[in-house]
Structure 1
Amino acid sequence: MINFIDLGSEIFRTGFLLAIFGYLLWVGRTRRNLPPRGWNTLLSGFGLLVFGSLLDITDEFEALNPFVIVGNTHTQALLEKVVIFPLGYLLLLRGLMRWMPAVHGLSRELECRKQVERILEAIVETRTGELKAANLALAEEVVVRRQAQEFLEITRARLEHLLTASPAVIYCCKVGGNYANTFVSENVQALVGYKPKDFIEDSRFWINHVHPRDRERVVADLDALLQRGEACYEYRFQHRDGSYRWIHDELQLVRDTEGQPFEIVGYWVDITHPKRVEQTQQRLSAILEASTDFVGFSDNEGIAQYVNQAGCRLVGMSAEEAVGRPITVFTPDWANIIIQNEGLPAAKRQGWWRGETALLHREGHEIPVSQLILAHHTSEGEVEFFSTVVRDISEHKAYESQLEYQANYDSLTGLPNRNLLQDRLEHAIAHAWRVRQGVAVLFLDLDRFKMVNDSLGHDVGDALLKAVAERLRGCVRDEDTISRLGGDEFVLVLEELRGGEMSRLIANKILAALQAPFALEGQTFRINASVGISLFSRDGKDALTLLKSADTALHWAKAQGRGCIRSYTSEMNAQVVERLTMEQSLRQAWERQEFVLHYQPIMDLQTGNMVAVEALLRWQHPRLGVVPPAKFIPLAEELGIMPTVGEWVLRTACLQSRRWQDAGLPMLTMSVNLSTQQFIQVDLTDRVAHILDETGLPPSCLAIEITESQIMQDVESAVASLRAFKEMKVHLSIDDFGTGYSSLIHLKRFPLNRLKIGKDFIHDFTKTPEDETIVLAVISLAHSLGLKVVAEGVETEEQLRFLWENGCEEMQGHYFSPPLPASEMEGLLQENRQLPLRLAYQQCH
């Protein structure tokens, strides 16, 4: 190592004297400040050489340190001046002689060192440039790497954001085995509620949560992935909440560099909503295709886009033929006019339209339909397309026509019924107002039709009504109306009459036509009719009034006898008013409990003892007093209250009989009449059994009375009901026998106990030989059938004696006792009064 020390050439310049003092100071300072041994060269400015003390310095370093005089041009010049001094010269010589070799060596070394230094400087400069370039490149690389790192972080953040926001869950899994997941993106939690670690930590987690019904298929598809390299399938996966979500799974096999299966990558997408929509669409499509209605869609231009199978069948086309055609080809022209002018505008305006149109089959026939048109709008409110639902109403129309016919025409005769009659009559009245001509209403009722119907059967009665309708058609013009109201009642409306006499001429013509014999079912018989007439506008200015007036006139005609014609007069209204008053009072009678029962004894003609009691209904009118049954029972049946009243009669009578028995009075049979409406009740026997059980009356203490007409209305049902009563031990009687038209063939089938002869025959048989013959015939007939005979209406001893002589078993009538209230009847029972037969026997003998 080379160390250089400059010893301060300024000493020489300050002067010689000062130099000595400076020298001395320097020597002390130098000695204190000199570095330790280890110097190898001491360089000094030339000025120091003039000082002798420098020798001491050189001595100090003699062994190790050569002394070199160096300096610049100024120093050299000074040296030239100094050398003139002897002392400087001596010093110089001594120094030069002593250090010259070292100086020469040092000079060479310095030159070498300079060269080395220059080389090193060049190398350093080169290396410095290289280092600068390297540092610059390194700095640039650091910047690039920093930018790449920042980009990588941004990209990673974006990828994580995309994975989190994406509906697709990215995953990797092993090949084979349980296909355990090795990676699952974080957004899986939003998909199925589980975290990625749930899939990764449990190798069977994924497969265990696949729906059991889908698991086998999914595993099979995964196994086939090794051959195909990719797969795509759908399955149900169980959510954390227990529900199942539909998953679309698309995956691909990744192979290593050697072509061997390495792992599986794929993604899951929740398709639950699309799947449900798809299922809904499939179901809707299945419903549309299964529908029996025509269902179709068309665009805004009216071109069919879809027609279901039912629609294709209705128009006789295939789906390929129907789609793409204008919808107008499916409907006839008249229906298209309705759809274009009414249906589509209404659908555009209010969203829908419904109406009746028709479909046109490709073979040309029309099909009546009920059509619904719907307009479907875009979000901007524009019509996007139309849909229509069309229902075949052919059967409905046929049924509607049938119902309309049934509603307006009589099913038996084909004549207009009451409903159509009302309409026709109103039109006739309106027309009469315009043309100022008359209208007549003829109300016709067949005489003794009930006898024909009951005795010969309903088939003969129906045939008779048809024949009467044909004869009526032949008596009037085509523009006139003939109507059947029901039963044997007919109404005729005669239009454009010039006078009231014309109506009577036609009525007489009708009666003459009906008097001709009818040949029906191998029998020939005649029938008459009664006619009531009302005229517009004298007897009424509206349809209802004219019908009522004609009906009132008919009642007057029937009251006058058979085959009569009566025109309405205002005096006939009194009878109508009385009937209306009676109807109103009768309705109130049930509510006010004005009905009461009276009881009439039935006596044994052999012993004179009381054997039965008949319960007879009475109406205790607050103003009219006791109203007889003949006046209100038919009206009650017309009003439909008789079944209720009749059930009350049966219950009250049974309860009264039971009370008498409980009071220790003789155990008599309680005889009760059933109304026609009661007898045709389906559950009649159940009702009677319930009342007997309710009141506690033994069935053997009850006798039911019915009429011939009741049992002849439906013979088979009557037989079934009577046999049921017989099995219950209830007694059965036919009331007013001989006044109806029962057949002997049917009579023997009825399980009866008694026949009751009507009081009309009993009242007159002592005066009229024909009635006496009838009474004897009834007694003989009853005995031949093993039945007892009860005579009603016995009022005289002569009647009693005749009946006893001819074998009649029982009687009832005023001769013994009139009908009595329950309290008086109870007194009669307590009295135990008997029929005075001894006098009758004595007079007989």
Structure 2
Amino acid sequence: MIPPLDIRCASADTAGLHEEIRRRDRIIAALIRQIETGINTESNFGLLQSTLALERLVQLRTEALHQSMEEMEAFIAHAPLGIVFTRDHVILRYNRQFAKMFGFHGDEAVGQNTRTLFRSDDEFEAAIALVDPSLSTEKSYRLDSYFRHSNGTDLWVHSIGHALARKETGASALWMMEDRTSIRRAEDALSQSHQELLERTLELSRREQELRTVIDNAYDAYVSLDENGTVLSRNKRAEEIFGWTTFEAMGRPLSELIIPPEAVGGFLAGLNSLAGEDKCPELLARRRDGSTLTAEIRISLLDFGEHRVFSAFLTDISARKAQERLREHEARHDALTGLPNRRELMDQLNRAIARSQRSGNALGVIFLDLDGFKSVNDSHGHETGDALLVRVAQRLTEEIRETDTVARLAGDEFVIVQEAANPRLDDAAQTASRLIARVSRPIPIGDISVQVGCSIGMLIFRSGCHQNAEELIQQADQAMYRAKRAGKGRSVIIELNPDPPEGEAGSIGPLA
């Protein structure tokens, strides 16, 4: 009796396994020879021996087949890959790793359509369209795609399909699957990080280029300075405004280039104090040719750890300042004659009062109104009337001292402020007479000649008097109307006393 062959005992020993296989092959070869010998003897005993040998061969073959199947089952069951058998897209069998991969318990997935492994019908149909043509030719197919876990989460799986022999029951396939979800996530995260880094780098590069373009084409001058105020970089506008080329400016202190000598100390001290503050102080700056301009400066401090950089924008506001001065002049001067208007007059008169109180000098206030101006307007038109007012303003300006001020109060009313005036009434009367005579001379305007007169009310203000500018103008106006009522072309002079008796404004000079 030949002992059964058991090769499982040698599974841990490769050399022993090979020896067992060779021993089995020798037994099988001996049995085959025994069968052939028995058949060739053509005797009953030989046939009996052949029959017994054949039975033993079948037994040996069957045992080997069962053992091989058991080993294959064990291999499949414990394989690190998911293994599944399908026929016409129906799950027939699978191993433990497949069940674990997709979250199945026991044999619950057996008999289910492979559609249950996919996330959607569209993805299932797309996979079938790719796989079936290849497997129909009994070729292997590799597939990397998303599948669905039984709990609804996504799996990224690498699959290798092998077509099995096509039978009447349908096309069969063996699939080996490896869960690469974690690898895919890591790859996706790395790819995403790389893409984000690339996009960020490109964005920073683009922004840097945009900023450089903006700075180079900015209306303002831009200068980058180190902690000592030395120029590190600058834009084209800085060269246009200040005249220094980039080659000339680089590496030199900004204070040496554009700051007047008397302001250098304050500029260097102000770098740190102005940085980061929401302030735009004005700066008197110097051009390369020595001329000056008014600039508005904004400073930011950039801290790079080991060193700091000051970023300064300088705006040439010379034109704006000139425009502001023009607007201020227009707001304080009469548009027709160019003389100070009421607003400017009141400010100057208040300052003159204050100086008179401090110095003790007398102050003269002359209120002058034209006589006959309305008839000129009515007879010759407003253009002629305007020209007349301009000529009168010129005559008054020529008649006063440089320290005096003549202003147009309104219409044909003018006011003259005399600082350090002669306090004598007779001198005041002479001044008034001279003004009346100068205004009354004929004035040629175009093809005609016109003539007007004037009435004057004059105050002599002394230190210690209590009136303000508004009160002085009002009292001078009243004195002027007294002169008009007396016959026009006259003047009324009032000498104000520091402490007038109750009910008495001051002494009144003669009508001139």
The bucket for the TM-score relative to the shorter chain is: 0.5 to 0.7
- The residue identity in structure 1 corresponding to 2:469 is A
Contact 1:295/1:308 (CA < 8 Å) preserved in 2? yes
Letter in 1 for 2:258: F
- Pick from 207, 210, 216 the counterpart of residue 289 of structure 1: 216
Alignment of 1:471-620 (within 5 A): 471-499=395-423, 501=425, 502-537=427-462, 540-567=466-493
Partners of 1:340 and 1:370 lie apart in 2 by: 16
SS at match of 1:354: coil
Report if the CA contact (8 A) 2:460-2:495 is conserved.
Answer: no
Distance in 2 separating the partners of 1:195 and 1:305? 56
Seen in structure 2, the aligned counterparts of structure 1 residues 280 and 246 have a Cα distance that, compared at 3 Å, is farther
Equivalent residue of 1:474, what SS? helix
Tell me, in whole angstroms, the C-alpha distance in 2 between the residues paired with 1:271 and 1:478: 75
Secondary structure of residue in 1 paired with 2:281? strand
CA distance, structure 2, for counterparts of residue 430 and residue 393 of structure 1: 34
Structure 1 residues 337 and 522: CA distance shift in structure 2, 3 A? farther
How far off is 1:539 after superposition? 7.0
**What is the rounded CA distance, in whole Å, between the counterparts of 2:454 and 2:237 in structure 1?**
58
* 2:354 aligned residue: 430
1:441 aligns with 2:369: no
Distance 1:183 1:334 in 2: 81
Distance 2:143 2:486 in 1: 113
Deviation at 1:490, TM superposition (A): 0.7
Q: For residues 415 and 246 of structure 1, what CA distance do their matches in structure 2 show?
A: 75
Shift of 1:569: 9.2
Distance in 2 (CA, whole Å) between partners of 1:361 and 1:195 is 71
- Aligned residues with identical type, % of pairs: 31
Alignment of 1:663-702 (within 5 A): none
What are the residue-to-residue correspondences of 1:146-161 with 2, within 5 Å?
Answer: none
Partner of 2:260: 332
Change (3 A) 1:325 1:539: closer
**Cα contact 2:367–2:415 (8 A) shared by 1:** yes
Instruction: Quote the Cα distance in structure 1 between the aligned partners of 2:395 and 2:348.
Output: 21
1:367 matches 2:297: no
- Displacement of 1:313 in angstroms is 1.4
> Alpha carbons of 1:196 and 1:412: their partners in 2 closer, same or farther (altered >3 Å)?
farther
Separation in 1, partners of 2:467, 2:265:
43
- Looking at CA atoms only, which structure, 1 or 2, has the larger radius of gyration? 1
Q: Deviations over 1:14-64 (max 9, x none)?
A: xxxxxxxxxxxxxxxxxxxxxxxxxxxxxxxxxxxxxxxxxxxxxxxxxxx
Query: Partners of 2:338 and 2:411 in 1: how far apart?
Result: 14
Q: Structure 2 regions of 5+ residues with no counterpart?
A: 1-141, 147-153, 161-187, 504-512
- The alignment's TM-score, normalised by the length of structure 1, stands at 0.34
Q: C-alpha deviations, 1:295-330, integer Å up to 9, x for none?
A: 121111212122112112112244344332221213
2:334 pairs with 1:410: yes
**1:300-339 counterparts in 2 under 5 A?**
300-328=227-255, 329-339=257-267
Please state how far the C-alpha of 1:368 moved relative to its aligned partner: 1.8
With over 3 angstroms needed to count, the CA separation of the structure-2 counterparts of 1:276 and 1:561, relative to structure 1, is farther
Q: Distance in 1 between matches of 2:248 and 2:283?
A: 22
Partner of 1:355: 281
RMSD, aligned α-carbons = 3.5
CA contact (8 A) 2:346 2:469 kept: yes
1:292 counterpart SS class: coil
Q: Which has the higher contact order (CA 8 A, sep 6+)?
A: 2
1:746-757 paired onto structure 2 within 5 Å: none
Going from structure 1 to structure 2, the CA distance change for 1:363 and 1:521 (only over 3 Å counts) comes to same
CA distance in 2, matches of 1:246, 1:566: 95
Note the C-alpha offset of 1:345.
4.5
Contact conserved, 2:279 with 2:298, CA < 8 A, in 1?
Answer: yes
**What TM-score do the two structures reach when normalised by structure 2?**
0.55
Q: Match for residue 280 of structure 1?
A: 207
Amino acid at match of 2:405: T
Contact kept in structure 2, 1:377 and 1:383, CA below 8 Å: yes
Show CA shifts across 1:323-374 (max 9, x none): 3222121333244344124x224226x6465321133332332222111223
Distance 1:314 1:441 in 2: 48
Q: Which residue of 1 aligns with 2:318?
A: 394
Alignment of 1:782-821 (within 5 A): none
Q: How does 1:77-92 map to 2 (within 5 A)?
A: none
Distance 2:278 2:304 in 1: 15
Structure 1 counterpart of 2:300, one-letter code: L
- Verify: 1:419 aligned to 2:347, yes or no: no
Q: Distance in 2 between matches of 1:197 and 1:458?
A: 99
Q: Distance in 1 between matches of 2:143 and 2:198?
A: 22
Distance 2:381 2:242 in 1: 51
8 Å CA contact retained: 2:333, 2:340: yes
Deviation at 1:399, TM superposition (A): 1.0
Tell me how far 1:444 sits from its aligned partner: 0.8
Q: Distance in 2 between matches of 1:183 and 1:555?
A: 112
Deviations 1:387-417 (A, max 9, x none): 1111111211221221232233333333222
Note if contact 1:426-1:542 (Cα within 8 Å) is conserved in structure 2: yes
Secondary structure of the corresponding residue to residue 413 of structure 1? coil
**How far off is 1:493 after superposition?**
0.7
C-alpha spacing 1:275/1:447, structure 2 compared with 1 (3 Å): same
Identify if the C-alpha distance between structure 1 residues 393 and 479 changes in structure 2 by more than 3 Å, giving closer, same or farther. Answer: same
Q: CA deviation at 1:468?
A: 1.1
Residues 353 and 374, structure 1, Cα contact 8 Å, conserved in 2 = no
What is the number of residues matched between the two proteins? 317
Q: Distance in 2 between matches of 1:493 and 1:511?
A: 16
Amino acid of the residue matched to residue 237 of structure 2? Answer: A
**d(CA) in 2 for partners of 1:492, 1:246:** 83
Partner of 1:63: none
Distance 1:347 1:435, change over 3 A: closer
CA distance in 2, matches of 1:491, 1:468: 12
Deviation per CA, 1:727-757: give whole Å up to 9, x if none.
xxxxxxxxxxxxxxxxxxxxxxxxxxxxxxx
The CA distance in 2 between the partners of 1:318 and 1:485, in whole Å, is 53
Distance in 1 of aligned mates of 2:409 and 2:279: 41
1:384 correspondence with 2:312: no
CA contact (8 A) 2:376 2:450 kept: no
**Match in the other structure for 1:690:** none
Deviation at 1:472, TM superposition (A): 1.4
Contact kept in structure 1, 2:442 and 2:449, CA below 8 Å: yes
Partner Cα separation in structure 2 for residue 306 and residue 543 of structure 1: 56
1:453-482 C-alpha deviation (Å, 9 max, x unpaired): 343233322221222122212332211111
Deviation, 1:291, is 1.3
- Structure 1, unpaired ranges of 5+: 1-181, 187-193, 202-239, 249-267, 575-845
Q: Distance in 2 between matches of 1:246 and 1:514?
A: 91
Distance 2:424 2:335 in 1: 32
Q: Secondary structure at the match of 1:415?
A: coil
**8 A Cα contact 1:332 1:358, kept in partner:** yes
Contact 1:552 1:568 in 2 (8 A): no
Match of 1:427, SS? Answer: helix
Q: For the Cα contact (< 8 Å) 2:221–2:234, is it kept in 1?
A: yes
